[in-house]
Structure 1
Amino acid sequence: MVVLATKLYVDGDARDRALDSLRSLVGNEIGDLDVSYEVGLRHDDFPSVTIEGDDAVVARNVLREEFGEIVPDLEPDETYVGTFESWDDEGFVLDAGQGDGIRIPADELGLGPGSPAQIRERYGLVQHVPLRFVYGGAADGGDGPSRLADEEIDRLYEWSRGPGRLNVNSATRAEVRATLNRAGHAQDYVTVERLGLLEQSVICTDDTDPPGLLASVGEYLPAELRCVVS
């Protein structure tokens, strides 16, 4: 079984649609392998995929690479994926399936000056977006606090240097694309990048203003929206 590092936190019909979308995504990744699989959901909203068959090991590795994996035990100095749960003046808290969450102190974010709230705004970090971190594990024999992984810092810096973005949570990629097109913005974005199952990043064209796009489509998306302006 693989527990995927992306959360399914919506309710009602939206939850059913999200599960259907996840099944399709999993099928796209491992459907050609010699396996049978079943998608479930844990009590903490992390989805699990039970896999059997001759290619089960390959299939599990493919899903780990695509989504990241929630594991029962963390090892100091190893890189994992957690979802962006909360923030305060002290730093970020990521949910990596460990109960109390993994705290990333403000001085371990590595994303430049400003408070954690200001950094969140600068990089358009919506709640629940998956983020890679290095586990410090002071309580488990490690040397110090957890920190954002270097590859995660590089990715977020690239967001701020590249085309403008509008980041969205609580919606699948198909739902975001459909909303943009229905609102008359089909020509205003290049693509919708999947960050997690329910977290997406709309990559704008060079002449599209992300705050203007947010103002236009915000009423159609019952979601949190954050801009990244280069």
Structure 2
Amino acid sequence: MVVLATKLYVEGEARERSLDSLRSLVTNEIGELDAEFEIGIRHDDFPSVTIDGDDATVARNVLREEFGEIVPDLQAGDTYVGTLESWDEDGFVLDAGQGDGVRIPTDELGLGPGSATQIRERYGLVQHLPLRFVYGGADGEEPSRLAETEQDRLYEWTRGDGRLNVNSATRAEVRATLNRAGHAQDYVTVERLGLLEQSVICTEHTDPPGLLASVGEYLPAELRCVVP
């Protein structure tokens, strides 16, 4: 079994659509392998994928690489993926399946000046966004920190033409909403950040705050802009 490091936290019909989307994503990744799978949702909203078949080991590794994995125990110095659960002036708290969460102090984010709240706004970080981090240890002597690969990814966001980040919606739902609202020519693509977290990559002449104002009423979600 693999517990994927992306959350399914919506309810009702949206939950069923999200489950269908997750099944499609898993099928795209391992469908050609000799493996069958079943998906369950844990009490903490992380999906678990049970895999059987001759290629089960390979399939598990493919899903770990694609989504990241929630593991029972964290080892100091190792890199994991957690979802952005909460934030305050002093740092981020990531949900890595450990109950209380993993706190990353502002000084360990490595994303420039400002409080953690200001940094979240600057980089357009929506709640539940999967983020890679290096675990500091349970004793608290070494703080956990954002992984360098994650820092590089987020810095790249601020060097492009702008982004609109969204949660609580699948990639297909975001694309359909953009097209329906008349913005088919205003974005390059929708990048999947997690199952329900997406990043709309804007064209050179698109204003991310203007795009947010236009489509916000159609998406019951949190939306955050990245403005270069």
Give the shorter-chain TM-score range.
over 0.9
Letter of the aligned partner of 1:62 in structure 2?
V
Distance 1:67 1:98, change over 3 A: same
The 5 Å alignment of 1:114-129 reads 114-129=114-129
Q: Partners of 1:48 and 1:161 in 2: how far apart? A: 35
TM-score normalised by structure 1 residue count:
0.98
Q: SS of the residue aligned with 1:37?
A: strand
CA contact (8 A) 1:193 1:202 kept: yes
Q: Partners of 1:107 and 1:161 in 2: how far apart? A: 22
CA contact (8 A) 1:108 1:147 kept: yes
The 5 Å alignment of 1:60-209 reads 60-139=60-139, 143-209=141-207
Q: SS of the residue aligned with 1:49?
A: strand
Match of 1:219 in 2: 217
TM-score normalised by structure 2 residue count:
0.99
Post-superposition offset of 1:220? 0.2
CA-to-aligned-CA distance 1:98-141 (integer Å, 9 cap, x gap): 000000011101000001110000000000000000000042xx
Q: Partners of 2:161 and 2:104 in 1: how far apart? A: 27
Post-superposition offset of 1:66? 0.5
Q: SS of the residue aligned with 1:202?
A: strand
CA-atom RMSD in angstroms: 0.8
- Name stretches of at least 5 consecutive residues in structure 2 with no aligned partner: none
- How high is the sequence identity, in percent, across the aligned residues? 84
CA contact (8 A) 1:92 1:106 kept: yes
Post-superposition offset of 1:217? 0.2
Post-superposition offset of 1:162? 1.2
Letter of the aligned partner of 2:40 in structure 1?
G
Letter of the aligned partner of 2:203 in structure 1?
T
Match of 1:26 in 2: 26
Match of 1:4 in 2: 4
CA contact (8 A) 1:80 1:134 kept: yes
Number of aligned positions between the proteins:
228
Q: SS of the residue aligned with 1:157?
A: helix
Match of 1:52 in 2: 52
- Name stretches of at least 5 consecutive residues in structure 1 with no aligned partner: none
- Kindly report structure 1 stretches of 4+ aligned residues shifted beyond 2 Å: none
Letter of the aligned partner of 1:73 in structure 2?
D
Post-superposition offset of 1:90? 1.4
Q: Partners of 1:214 and 1:44 in 2: how far apart? A: 30
Distance 1:61 1:159, change over 3 A: same
